[in-house]
Structure 1
């Protein structure tokens, strides 16, 4: 028995796998015809989006007993990933054991990454390493760059810098590819230890292996460390050096820089960067902003009590001739509704909520719950009652308006 399987079976928490009766599940699978894999995937992901992870897990588990319509690896990954995002790591690990070891469904790289991530988040560092080594020994599947990102960050968070460096070296030997996030993890660790010489070595290595990469995320790491030390001049020189490269930044890079600038009160630079990102937003050729970009800037306005400016920010568009407006995705709407509710901006939250429905977007369960709790907190029980009914109709709760305490 492998180490990770042994560790799984030793877990003492009450988990679904141990409470799930094999005989009863087999009977259920026999009594009820299972949907085809494509339809099953749609049903499971719909339950996940609604926040009903227990029902999604039960449906996917039951289908595993079917002789003809078993879940695909994509359905398995969907519920495992949802459990991990919900920080239900034990259940994510047990689902892995259930699908891929007990029922011999073939995992893919995403499956392994979820498992390593879950072990890392649980603090089971050696178990995560064991899975990583198993992947490397498996001729049919190899670690991806995401795998190296996860495992190096895990090692660094555990204070095992040398192990992280060894894994980075393995990445170079095995694949010949580089990844800026792995370098950033190592640079961050070295800078936090005050070893800037070693951090610079990693930066130089990155420049050699990826000369056209503009090092935005790594620059943000350096800036954060300098600003934390009160070395504003060094931080801003680092930032100006990055801007002088005249490279268009992807939203993930720009967002990290915005966070650092806003965190340390560099408001002017943050707004200038935001407007540059808007100017560079020219889909479908290039995406300069995302929902997180707008969420950061709106929240910054609200922290300063600038409500009108926050609402105006949502409508901002770049000034270049080919710049185009950005349209929020579901996650963006849900984040902003949460932010508006936190600032008692209920009418604005309601407007966004209605906009979602008008565009056939479905709010997730947590967004309903936030809006529902805000109604109650502000004494609008009738609206809370109506929203609760909507939640029941959408099958986000099981039994009508039972949450309201009149």
Structure 2
């Protein structure tokens, strides 16, 4: 019997199951909030063995039924350690922890814990076992499952394994229409790219048209029940899909067709470019050497008044472009200008890149400006490594 089936069926992986917190460690602190912070920090500095040991204390937290915050903290503890194990490709440990939390000790999983197990199976190319696991989660078994990310993970796994017909069936299952929301543009983009990679432009175009038809039957106000719909949401989702066609034409060596497709996708209807759409085009433009167009698009997103037109990954893409080209001063300047205009921009990744290149004075300045509470543990670890690394130049 495979490992994942034992997870599904709730079989134990080991005979010695801790029944008290003291069986895990002496003097255990099982307070949910403190425990979640400790596990997340240990995971962030890659001390996964210790993080997993602490995470197992979550099953012994005494949570009152009305204490929703404590219950959420326990969920965070479970999902963060499972996700970290999958991120580091320690798949067996991820399954062991899932089994320990949700089968042996009967905690209720949430969508993130389940999606991490799906991602683990997909990473290993075990698509059928991922589908088995997905089908085993009955309604109500896991909180908020399935989610949008569930279908993204499954869809991408099916596409990457060449099972495009199944991926298409998954998208056309009626779930988006039944719930009255827009279909997932990321999942549709994966399918379109799958057909384009096979050279099947006609089929990719048909999938695009199917997406438009589904969206046309949906009332935008039902998608945003708590605030007015954003003007251009539909156009942005369609444009996001068109980024795959722009890249297709670049791959074919047809630069004129690619740029014509790009201009028609973003500028024909004069709609505001949202962050997820702009980010998709920034990656394509930079990849194929259209750097002036990328910077023009970036500055347009940066100066847009609506907060959804610019995001964390937007500035990160352009800052990394500067670093990759060896323009370190420009990278830091790009980040600082973005931060002046958009208060939510945080710079752990900029600090990390500065440390990797020996620019410790710049890293220190960024830390002082951002505040310690916004810096990730891995960033501090990278900075300490840079200080003790012998022979490194600290010159800009």
| TM-score class normalised by the smaller sequence | 0.7 to 0.9
CA distance in 2, matches of 1:30, 1:255: 46
Number of the residue aligned with 2:226: none
After TM superposition, give the deviation of residue 188 of structure 1 in Å: 0.5
Deviation string, structure 1 residues 247-277 (Cα, Å, up to 9, x no partner): 2233232122111101111011101101110
CA 1:39 to 1:210, structure 2 compared with 1: closer, same or farther past 3 Å? same
After TM superposition, give the deviation of residue 372 of structure 1 in Å: 3.0
After TM superposition, give the deviation of residue 195 of structure 1 in Å: 0.9
CA 1:93 to 1:216, structure 2 compared with 1: closer, same or farther past 3 Å? farther
Pairing 1:220-369 to 2, within 5 Å after superposition: 220-243=243-266, 244-280=268-304, 282=305, 285-316=306-337, 325-327=341-343, 329=345, 332-356=346-370, 359-361=371-373, 363-369=375-381
Number of the residue aligned with 1:116: 118
Alignment check: 8 A CA contact 1:80 1:95 kept: yes
Alignment check: 8 A CA contact 1:100 1:107 kept: yes
Alignment check: 8 A CA contact 1:258 1:273 kept: yes
SS in 2 for 1:170: coil
After TM superposition, give the deviation of residue 354 of structure 1 in Å: 3.3
Deviation string, structure 1 residues 189-215 (Cα, Å, up to 9, x no partner): 011111111111111111122242422
Structure 1 gap ranges (5+): 12-16, 319-323, 384-406
CA distance in 2, matches of 1:301, 1:60: 39
Compute the RMSD of aligned alpha carbons.
3.4
CA distance in 1, matches of 2:112, 2:379: 27
CA distance in 1, matches of 2:3, 2:338: 53
CA distance in 1, matches of 2:250, 2:172: 30
Deviation string, structure 1 residues 351-372 (Cα, Å, up to 9, x no partner): 223334xx23253343233323
Name which of structure 1's ranges 138-147 and 185-194 shifts more when overlaid on structure 2: 138-147
CA distance in 2, matches of 1:268, 1:74: 42
Pairing 1:7-406 to 2, within 5 Å after superposition: 21-23=16-18, 27-28=22-23, 32=27, 34-65=29-60, 72-135=74-137, 137-138=138-139, 142-172=145-175, 175=179, 177=181, 178-211=183-216, 212-214=234-236, 215-243=238-266, 244-280=268-304, 282=305, 285-316=306-337, 325-327=341-343, 329=345, 332-356=346-370, 359-361=371-373, 363-377=375-389, 379=391
CA distance in 1, matches of 2:14, 2:381: 29
Alignment check: 8 A CA contact 2:247 2:258 kept: yes
CA distance in 2, matches of 1:312, 1:187: 37
CA distance in 1, matches of 2:191, 2:93: 31
CA 1:334 to 1:86, structure 2 compared with 1: closer, same or farther past 3 Å? farther
Alignment check: 8 A CA contact 2:250 2:258 kept: yes
CA 1:293 to 1:352, structure 2 compared with 1: closer, same or farther past 3 Å? same
TM-score (norm: length of structure 1) = 0.78
Alignment check: 8 A CA contact 2:152 2:187 kept: yes
Structure 2 gap ranges (5+): 65-69, 217-233
CA distance in 1, matches of 2:323, 2:285: 17
